[in-house]
Structure 1
Amino acid sequence: MTRITQVRTIGVPVADQDRALDFYVGRLGFEKRLDVSYGDRWVEVAPPGSETTIALVRSETPGVDTGIRLTTADAGGDHAELRGHGVDVDAEVLHWQGVPPMFGLRDPDGNRLVLIELTNRT
């Protein structure tokens, strides 16, 4: 067996790292965790307190469904706030029986992420 203990970093393809950094930090409220020269440039961001980071990886082919699921205490409130700040969000928050409220959003490169309301389910 391995000694793997956590997911450290997930890469998201972006055309312009500065534009992506402005979006993730300025619009989503993430923290910039790393910005160094590594061959080209390596940039990582994360929600405050998160151990897992998102690497903004320079790519000629951005615009993917990242599969990344972020959590929030208030999906409706965040949906309204992000929409008000010009973020490309789904038209409405999804409310399905037995499933937490959630909605999709897209970064400036068209990369899709999903924001899910954290509930206290046992």
Structure 2
Amino acid sequence: MKVKVIGIPVQDQQKALQFYTEKLGFVKKIDIPLSEGNRWLTVVSKEEPDGAAILLEPSPNHFQPARAYQKALFDAGIPYTQFDCEDVQQEFERLRSLGVEFSVTPTEMGTVKIAVFDDTCGNQIQIVQML
């Protein structure tokens, strides 16, 4: 088995595309219109364009359990997912200079350093560096 796509629920796909490309530095890979104004919209790391894609999946507004789950994770400060990076401190400073809001500043936790930010689309995302 291989991981090719991981979904992240987002409240607004266009806003998510702007955040994930303009702030985080991902690049758009696929953008196919679907029903009800939704899109099959993926982004990938510019360092690994053939690596796993992130599906910026429309948060299902019509399905209350999914909305409640996403909000509960966010409100508890629990990251929806995590991204690896080479230097958490450097990435934190770069993202903060772009206006990204962090709930957890760079923190060493055993063999990793982490930070957690708001993706502006309903999720907390953790970045992690192996030490």
| TM range, smaller chain | 0.7 to 0.9
SS at match of 1:7: coil
- Separation of aligned partners in 2, 1:38 and 1:110: 22
Q: Which residue of 1 aligns with 2:84?
A: 71
TM-score by length of 1: 0.82
Q: CA deviation at 1:47?
A: 1.4
Match of 1:12 among 3, 8, 13: 8
Gaps of 5+ in 2: 62-66
One-letter code aligned to 1:52 = A
Indicate conservation of the 8 Å contact 2:79/2:116, yes or no: no
Runs of 4+ in 1 over 4 A off after TM superposition: 62-66
TM-score by length of 2: 0.77
Determine what percentage of the aligned residue pairs are the same residue: 27
More deviation, 83-92/55-64: 55-64
Q: How many correspondences in the alignment?
A: 114
Q: CA deviation at 1:91?
A: 4.3
Can you list the C-alpha shifts for 1:73-122, whole angstroms capped at 9, x where unaligned?
Answer: 110011111111111213421112x3211111121123111111144xxx
- Greater share of helix: 2
Aligned CA RMSD, in angstroms, stands at: 1.8
